[in-house]
A and B are shown apart, each in its own frame.
Chain A
Amino acid sequence: MLQGLVLLLAFQFIGEILSNFLGLPIPGNVIGMALLLVSLISGVIKEEMIRETADFLLSHMALFFVPAGVGVMLYFDLIQREWLPIVLGTVFSTFAVMAVTGWTENLLDKNKETSND
């Protein structure tokens, strides 16, 4: 568990450094994810080294967003001022994106379905 956490944080750390120094628009954790994926594929990092920690974090990922959501309370005034365009724009657009993305994938994907788990 601890080894996994050390590795995940190290990859995030490297990602943050790259993001900062190269002035990339991509956040460090997303770069860290890409680097870890490359390391897993190339065999530098073995799946067993991170599996336990990664599965723990992923199964509770929703929880980690809660404080970010509570932060919305700071901007109630801002949202209230033009709530109609803000709320309808957000809601309509979110459903439109799901429809267009999902239909596009469905239309182009000729694979047989994958194993479910």
Chain B
Amino acid sequence: MTEILHTPLFGITLTLLAYRLAEILYRKTGFILFNPVALSIVAIIILLKICDIPYNDYARGGDIILFLLGPSVVALALPLYQRRKEILNRKLPILLGIFAGAMTSIITAAGTAWLLGGSHKVVLSLVPKSVTTPIAIGIVEKIGGIAPLTAALVVLTGCLGAICGPEFCRLIGIRTPAALGLAVGTASHGIGTARVLGENRFAGAVSGLAIGLNGLATSIIVPLLWLLFA
């Protein structure tokens, strides 16, 4: 019986089932805390803990689903291509918005953690938290933070943006698809983009662009700041 847990079938079925149920619940209730990604992550973690199933058993199937993230990021080229004229029309606002966001992310994440008494390594681990995972890991390894902690914080940041990013933006007067997509994509990379894509195609295109460009901006800014202060 327990052999099934050692096959990819377990992780794949559990992930799809949890996500589908969460999606239905979210649609029925419209309650923002029932965000499908966040809710299914929490549900799966609780189930694994209660049943005492090791993470590695889950990951055999989970990794296969995670693999599809790669071609999905490549696929973001399609909305970018379809909306290229509207994006080129606002290239300066987009580039400067991302640059301002990248600077804000580095300074506020590290600054807040430092003010609250975070240890040196923890403060450094927060620096690339708004950047897509592979780039964030590359950055944190260069500056000497804790790579697994950064990986976890990148996911938490993404979930936060997916749960309430669009709501927060509208609350503070960020309502156009261009500004909202850029804000959510710059702050919470692919997970935020996935949420925005479901609401507005153009906002999703801009958000997808922000994943790559914020990654680029942060990986250039961090070493420069490092030279200045270290």
| Chain A complexes with chain B | yes
Interface residues, chain A, CB within 8 Å of chain B? 5, 8-9, 11-12, 15, 25-30, 32-34, 36-37, 40-41, 47, 50-51, 53-55, 57-75, 78-79, 82, 84-86, 88-109, 111, 113-117
**Chain B 41-96 interface residues, beta-carbon cutoff 8 Å to A:** 41, 44-45, 48-49, 55, 58-59, 62-63, 65-66, 68-84, 86, 89-90, 92-94, 96
Interface residues, chain B, CB within 8 Å of chain A? 11, 15-16, 18-19, 36-38, 40-41, 44-45, 48-49, 55, 58-59, 62-63, 65-66, 68-84, 86, 89-90, 92-94, 96-98, 100-101, 104-105, 108-110, 112-114, 116-119, 122-123, 126, 129-130, 132-135, 138-139, 146, 148-149, 151-153, 155-162, 165, 168-169, 172-174, 176-180, 182-184, 186-188, 190-191, 193-195, 197-198, 200-202, 204, 208, 210-212, 215-216, 219
Q: List 14 A-B contacts (CB under 8 A).
A: A11-B74, A29-B73, A32-B73, A37-B80, A37-B81, A54-B77, A55-B78, A62-B198, A68-B66, A86-B126, A89-B109, A101-B210, A108-B97, A113-B176
B194 pairs with A99, CB closer than 8 A: no
Starting from the known contacts A63-B65, A96-B104, 9 additional A-B residue pairs (CB-CB under 8 Å) come to: A8-B71, A74-B148, A85-B117, A89-B118, A99-B183, A101-B186, A109-B178, A109-B179, A114-B202
* Distance between Cα atoms of A44 and B165 in the complex (Å): 36
State which of A40, A59, A74, A89 has its C-beta within 8 Å of the C-beta of B198.
A59
Q: Chain B: which residue is nearest A62 at the CB level?
A: B194
A24 CB to closest chain B CB (Å) equals: 9
Chain B residues whose CB sits within 8 angstroms of the CB of A63 once the complex forms: 15-16, 19, 36-37, 65
State which of B68, B86, B117, B182 has its C-beta within 8 Å of the C-beta of A105.
B182
Give how many A-B residue pairs fall within 8 Å (CB-CB). Answer: 343
Can you list the 3 inter-chain pairs with the closest CB atoms, starting with the nearest?
A67-B62, A85-B118, A102-B174
Looking at chain B's contact residues, the main secondary structure is: helix
